[in-house]
Amino acid sequence: MEYLTDKQKENRAYYAANAEKLKAKKRADNGIGENLDAFADFKKRKKKSKQVVAAINKSLAEEMKNDKLTESNGNADSLIKLNTRRRIEDLKMAKQLGIDVLELCG
């Protein structure tokens, strides 16, 4: 059983009557909607960086296929792991510096 005080009842009635106005005021105070463009740009950059990483991975795989040393030595797995670790380190460094991976490499 729930017991509400008179003040709580008045506050609930006021909110029910003015809910949309109060929500709009909160949105304006918090600046919601202003950052939507920035968020959309962030999503585009993130998608582009994933495509760049996929292209780099593909090119590295092709290079390793064509590399005769990896085939003859049997070190293809260790070279893949080494290149992957270096790529991860490059991504982390680029993120820390706030630049694109391509700017870091080239």
Where helices occur in 1-106 by DSSP H, the ranges are 6-30, 36-66, 68-73, 76-97, 101-105
| Domain ranges within the chain, ordered by starting residue | 1-32, 36-105
Question: What is the residue-level pLDDT of the chain in tens, covering all 106 positions?
Answer: 478 999 999 999 999 999 999 988 888 877 666 666 666 777 777 777 777 777 777 777 777 766 655 555 556 677 777 788 888 888 888 888 788 777 766 5
Judge residue 20's burial from the number of C-beta atoms within 10 Å of its C-beta, 0-12 exposed, 13-18 middle, 19 or more buried.
exposed
Show the tokens assigned to 23.
């929500």
Show the tokens assigned to 97.
């510096």
The model's pTM is 0.30
- 32-48 tens-digit pLDDT: 666 666 667 777 777 77
